[in-house]
Structure 1
Amino acid sequence: MDAGRPVAHVAAEAGISRRCLAKWYARRCAHGEAGLVDHSSRPATSPARTAEDVADLIEALWRQTKHGRAWLAADLKRPHGITLAPATCTAVS
C-alpha cells in the first residue's frame, strides 16, 4: 500500500480481506505502532443494561419457580409491570 502495491494483492499475501487490511492500515497511519495492538471490542459502557434490582428479581423468580425464560418474562409482566424479552431473562438468570 505504501509502496504503491494494490491493496488486493497485499491482502491476499497476508491471507486477510481487503477490508481488514484497510482497517489495520488506517489504524497504523493514525496511531503508529500503538494502533496495531489488539484491543477489546467490548463497549466501554452498557446504557441499555438491565437494572440490578430487576436482575435480582429475575433471579429470585427463577429460583422460586424454575420456569423457563418465556414464563419468567410473563411472571415479571403480570404482577410487577416489567416488560422484558424472554432472551433478556435468560441472559440475566
Structure 2
Amino acid sequence: MSKPSSARYADMPLHYGHVPVWLAQRMSLLGGAVVESIILEYGHSAVLSRLSDPFWFQAFGSVLGMDWHSSGVTTSVMGALKRAINP
C-alpha cells in the first residue's frame, strides 16, 4: 500500500499565441484605471504591494480578462500596465 503524497501542486497548462488586440487594449484601459485609483487612494507603494501579492495579482489578471489558469497572466498583465503607464 502506497503512502499518500503530502506534496501539493497546481496543474496549469502552457498556452501559446498572443492576446487578441481588442483584449489587450481593454486590459490596458482597465488596468490603468485600477492602478490610478489605487495610487489616488493609497499611494504609489500600495500598487507595488498589491502587484507583489501573487493572489491579488492572479485575481487582477482575471478581472482584466485573462483566464485564471492561463500561463500568460504575468506577461499579459504587466504588458497591459506598461502600455497604460507609458502609452
TM-score, normalising length: structure 2: 0.32
TM-score by length of 1: 0.30
- Structure with the larger RCO, 1 or 2 (CA within 8 Å, 6+ apart): 2
Q: Which has the larger radius of gyration?
A: 1
